[in-house]
């Protein structure tokens, strides 16, 4: 684990996103992408990340907790299991429905709201702990999203994040996709959230401390072909990428993803086990 001493960081303004980007259009396309397929099929497999994040954040019973870009509710459910007062927010209604079903099945109390991570529908300082697992990192306007996380977190509260890293498996997946379907020019990579320097830029001026550690989530599937089948069917960014390509170009993307999976596979029993590195961060609000 490492810790950034924010007292030594010069408080610098959060850089603005390039004005020439049509962020509203990008957000609309992203919302459509995440509503395509069914992210909950993937999200459910990541449950351990939400559980681990709640432990690292030292979440206590009775604390007011917000899960931002909650998807099908991994971190929100983990917090509710610790008897926190939990709200989840996401802009994909179908994922909120999945979270409600999971909460009902487990007998857990959750408030779930339709809302945008860049314009959270909550009062200043409304929460003791703000969480996000692989969610807020995908917002197109990163500085605005960071300001919203800070705004709704009380002074002395914690913002706990799990973000994929550029040098890890998911970072490599997005690089591979980007070689076939280029992302919008000028848009900051979501994987920037998985770096200490970017977190210092986004939060350092209003943070008492930033603690980080790199962790691995193990993607366990029957084979590379099985992973590709699941993600191509259910994971919005990959599903949409294949839809946008001609059959020949889609076959090329499939070959490149298969090559990546085979290169990163650490299983020795004929199945697939790929470590996916992410940065876990706990930011204490000044």
- pLDDT tens per residue, range 103-130: 999 999 999 999 999 999 999 999 999 9
- Alpha-carbon distance of 129 to 154, in angstroms, equals 8
pLDDT in tens, 165-176: 999 999 999 999
- Alpha-carbon distance of 254 to 250, in angstroms, equals 6
pLDDT computed for residue 31 by the predictor: 86
Q: What is the mean pLDDT of the chain?
A: 93
Contact 102, 132 (CB under 8 A): no
DSSP 8-state assignment for residue 122: S
Q: Is pLDDT of 10 > 50?
A: no
pLDDT in tens, 265-284: 999 999 999 999 999 999 99
pLDDT in tens, 220-257: 999 999 999 999 999 999 999 999 999 999 999 999 99
pLDDT computed for residue 184 by the predictor: 83
pLDDT computed for residue 35 by the predictor: 86
Burial grade of 211 (CB within 10 A; 0-12, 13-18, 19 or more): middle
More confident residue, 194 or 30: 194
pLDDT computed for residue 1 by the predictor: 65
pLDDT computed for residue 269 by the predictor: 97
- At 7, the pLDDT band (50, 70, 90 cuts) reads very low
- φ/ψ of 132, rounded to 5, equals -160, 125
Query: How do beta strands 272-285 and 153-164 pair?
Result: antiparallel
pLDDT computed for residue 20 by the predictor: 62
For domain 21-219+277-285, the CATH superfamily is: Vaccinia Virus protein VP39 (3.40.50.150)
pLDDT computed for residue 11 by the predictor: 33
């Amino acid at each position: 684990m490492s810790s950034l001493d924010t007292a030594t960081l010069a408080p610098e303004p959060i850089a603005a996103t390039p004005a020439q980007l049509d962020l509203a259009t990008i957000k609309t396309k992203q919302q459509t992408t995440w509503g395509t397929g069914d992210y909950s099929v993937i999200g459910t497999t990541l449950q351990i990340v939400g559980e681990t994040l709640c432990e690292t954040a030292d979440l206590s019973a009775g604390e007011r907790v917000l899960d931002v870009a909650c998807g099908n509710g991994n971190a929100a459910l983990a917090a509710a299991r610790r008897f926190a007062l939990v709200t989840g927010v996401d802009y994909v209604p179908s994922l909120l429905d999945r979270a409600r079903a999971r909460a009902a099945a487990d007998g857990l109390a959750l408030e779930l709201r339709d809302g945008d991570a860049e314009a959270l529908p909550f009062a200043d300082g409304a929460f003791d702990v703000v969480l996000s697992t692989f969610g807020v990192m995908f917002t197109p306007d990163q500085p605005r999203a960071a300001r919203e996380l800070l705004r709704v977190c009380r002074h002395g509260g914690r913002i706990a994040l799990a973000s994929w890293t550029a040098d890890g498996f998911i970072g490599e997946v997005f690089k591979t996709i980007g070689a076939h379907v280029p992302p919008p020019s000028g848009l900051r990579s979501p994987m920037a959230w998985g770096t200490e320097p970017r977190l210092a830029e986004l939060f350092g001026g209003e943070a008492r401390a930033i603690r980080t550690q790199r962790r691995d989530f193990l993607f366990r599937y029957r084979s590379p072909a099985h992973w590709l089948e699941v993600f191509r069917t259910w994971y919005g960014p990959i599903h949409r990428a294949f839809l946008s390509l001609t059959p020949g170009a889609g076959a090329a993307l499939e070959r490149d993803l298969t090559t990546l999976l085979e290169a990163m596979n650490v299983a020795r029993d004929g199945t697939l086990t790929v470590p996916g590195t992410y940065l876990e961060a706990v930011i204490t609000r000044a």
